[in-house]
Amino acid sequence: MEELDGEPTVTLIPGVNSKKKQMCFDWGPGEMLVCETSFNKKEKSETAPNCPFIYIIWKDVDVYSHILRKLFNESHGIFVGLQRIEEELTGKSRKAQLVRVSKNYRSVIRACMEEMHQFAIAAKDPASGRQFSSQVSILSAMELIWNLCEILFIEVAPAGPLLLHLLDWVRLHVCEVDSLSADVLGSENPSKHESFWNLPGNTQTLTELELKWQHWREECERHLQDGTFASSPRLESLCKIMLGDEAALLEQKELLSNWYHFLVTRLLYSHPTVKPIDLHFYAQSSLDMFLGGESSPEPLDNILMAAFEFDIHQVIKECSIALSNWWFVAHLTDLLDHCRLLQAHNLYFGSNMREFLLLEYASGLFAHHSLWQLGVDYFDYCPELGRVSLELHIERIPLNTERKALKVLRICEQRQMTEQVRSICKILAMKAVRNNRLGSALSWSIRAKDAAFATLVSDRFLRDYCERGCFSDLDLIDNLGPAMMLSDRLTFLGKYREFHRLYGEKRFGDAASLLLSLMTSQIAPRSFWMTLLTDALPLLEQKQVIFSAEQTYELMRCLEDLTSGKPERADPDAQRLQDDDIETTKVEMLRLALARNLARAIIREGSLEGS
């Protein structure tokens, strides 16, 4: 991932010598192409290169992890739920909700960590085992940081309960190791003291607790001064520890797995009612004492320290530098933003930062062939650039199957992304035409409301009909409905097919009027008139009179229109002569049939009027 700050990440391309050559590249929707080239040589190169390679570069590796996929899937549900938390909810109920959401996120991390751990144990080769283990430790770190942020920023525990939470935090993440240490650790096992100081939240006031605690402490001190435990150095050390003696604690450094364990232990015995505002002071001194100048803080230490300093921005910044994907920072920042902390902390880019991180995370999901569907919801909740980002990403989703295409279309339609809908339908229509699937092409162009393309496809249908004498995709054409109005040619196609249906149903009168109206209303392209007139032939030849005298006149006019408009052809070749021959015969037959029909119609109409 590209971090917010810090040094650029370096990705090495094997087999490319950057000292001698350059690289050409291209962006894809989810991947990048890189290839060795030489830009300075503009002419033919003197020496042929040794079989250059093309490299496919992936941006976000985590998207492809099966186990992390669960993290993405399940946290998506929590994220969407969080966005729907009633804005009106205030005070305690809102806070309780947000704490619950935070815990849900953490339990998802834990579940994922557990599964990853199982894989690490079951891993057959050491390399993949190592990889799983490293992911376990990353997830574990995420949970540790998240938990601390939850206590400090979301729970906002006051003095007293604050230490309680910190104790839970340490207990959750630092483990008693073996029986030997458990003996000694017993002295600092918080559970022994819990009953003693667990009360303030309920029955005692903080001052009462302070008083009692001071009393107990003085007693301890007296015992120490009196040399009560002088006979046993261990008991004496224990007593010192209970008084919060830092030197005594640090003597047991090996049992304190890390500085924050030391910090909480120290606070427990010396400042159980530590105020949030004083935390950073104790944290910093604990870190300094614990490391003792022997080693320097690691990124995790810096993150935790930033949290103890209540510097949210620093926490997020350090996390995005250190963590391997945008998942953590995006979700944590979003949650903190819902706690209205980013504004409160006077970051003028506060909500920008939330959106920035969510956009990064969602874009990463779009690199994956199925996770992109989660990304859609994240974009939805980015008010500024979410929509335009979604537009750019979603139109790039490969439409390999109809099902996938329909899914993408539904998402676009739900969001009134008309241009994307049009474009996707157009792409599919073009693909169908190229593969000669006319029915599919037509329905996609109707969906795209692409009149020009509908005309083009309709022409193909008509051309096919002229060649084969039958229509394909009857279902579609018969059920065009109002979509028929998209283009004149499509209307004609629909109406022409209707003519065939009427004819098939032996509703000759209706069929005849329709046929004629197709020509007189100019819906039928002139190139198709001869076909239509030829279609009229069998109707003219029926026993009963179908075309009235007036209709017959109209038909004759159409035929004359068509034949008189024909330009004289110079230099006719043999084929054309033959075609003309057929044409002439056709026209002659039509004229004959029309004349006969006219005669019959006049007689019939005359006799009917006479009767």
- Binding to other proteins (CB under 8 A) within 74-133 occurs at 74, 77-78, 81, 97, 100-101, 103-104, 106-108, 110-111, 113-114, 117, 120-121, 125, 127-131, 133
Out of 225, 231, 400, 607, which residue is the one contacting other proteins (CB under 8 A)? 400
| Pairwise CA distance, residues 136 & 149, whole Å | 20
Contact set for other proteins, span 317-346 (CB under 8 A): 321-325
Contacts of 46-49 with C-beta under 8 Å, sequence gap 24+, read none
- If one asks whether residue 456 binds other proteins (CB under 8 A), the answer comes out as yes
Question: For residues 126 and 233, which CB has a smaller minimum distance to other proteins in the complex?
Answer: 126
Contact set for other proteins, span 478-497 (CB under 8 A): none
- If one asks whether residue 39 binds other proteins (CB under 8 A), the answer comes out as yes
Question: For residues 2 and 218, which CB has a smaller minimum distance to other proteins in the complex?
Answer: 2
Q: Is 160 left (phi over 0), alpha (psi -120 to 50) or beta?
A: left
Nearest-10 Cα torsion for 136, 186, 287, 305: 50
Contact 121, 245 (CB under 8 A): no
Least distance from C-beta 418 to other proteins, angstroms? Answer: 12
- If one asks whether residue 174 binds other proteins (CB under 8 A), the answer comes out as yes
Question: For residues 253 and 586, which CB has a smaller minimum distance to other proteins in the complex?
Answer: 253
- If one asks whether residue 287 binds other proteins (CB under 8 A), the answer comes out as no
List of residues 6+ apart from 540 with CB closer than 8 A: 546, 547, 593, 594, 596, 597
Question: For residues 424 and 477, which CB has a smaller minimum distance to other proteins in the complex?
Answer: 424
- If one asks whether residue 517 binds other proteins (CB under 8 A), the answer comes out as no
Question: For residues 293 and 610, which CB has a smaller minimum distance to other proteins in the complex?
Answer: 293
Out of 23, 235, 451, 537, which residue is the one contacting other proteins (CB under 8 A)? 23
Question: For residues 70 and 604, which CB has a smaller minimum distance to other proteins in the complex?
Answer: 70
Least distance from C-beta 347 to other proteins, angstroms? Answer: 9
Least distance from C-beta 173 to other proteins, angstroms? Answer: 4
- If one asks whether residue 192 binds other proteins (CB under 8 A), the answer comes out as no
Strand residues in 216-288 grouped as ranges (E): none
User: Interacting stretch for other proteins, rule CB under 8 A, among 316-324, 370-378, 542-550, 590-598?
Assistant: 316-324
CB-count exposure of residue 43 (10 Å: 0-12, 13-18, 19+):
exposed
- If one asks whether residue 233 binds other proteins (CB under 8 A), the answer comes out as no
Out of 146, 327, 328, 356, which residue is the one contacting other proteins (CB under 8 A)? 356
CA angle 119/123/128 to nearest 5° reads: 95
Question: For residues 322 and 516, which CB has a smaller minimum distance to other proteins in the complex?
Answer: 322
Contact set for other proteins, span 134-173 (CB under 8 A): 134-138, 140-141, 144, 168, 171-173
| Pairwise CA distance, residues 443 & 429, whole Å | 8
Question: For residues 295 and 544, which CB has a smaller minimum distance to other proteins in the complex?
Answer: 295
List of residues 6+ apart from 551 with CB closer than 8 A: 512, 513, 516
At position 105, the amino acid (one-letter code) is Y
Question: For residues 3 and 498, which CB has a smaller minimum distance to other proteins in the complex?
Answer: 3
Contact set for other proteins, span 250-269 (CB under 8 A): 253-254, 257-259
User: Interacting stretch for other proteins, rule CB under 8 A, among 205-213, 290-298, 405-413, 550-558?
Assistant: 290-298
Least distance from C-beta 298 to other proteins, angstroms? Answer: 6
What is the SS3 assignment for 492?
A: helix
Contact 551, 513 (CB under 8 A): yes
Q: How far is CA 242 from CA 111, 261, 270, in A?
A: 36, 15, 8
Contact characters 436-455, other proteins, x per CB under 8 A: x-------------------
Q: How far is CA 161 from CA 29, 276, 336, 426, in A?
A: 49, 10, 21, 62
User: Interacting stretch for other proteins, rule CB under 8 A, among 212-220, 352-360, 487-495, 525-533?
Assistant: 352-360
Least distance from C-beta 365 to other proteins, angstroms? Answer: 13
| Pairwise CA distance, residues 267 & 270, whole Å | 5
List of residues 6+ apart from 148 with CB closer than 8 A: 169, 304, 307, 308
Contact set for other proteins, span 42-61 (CB under 8 A): 42-45, 48-59, 61
Total chain residues near other proteins (CB under 8 A): 153
CA 310 to chain centre: 32
Token digits for 328? 């953590």
Residue 560: its H or E element: helix 549-564
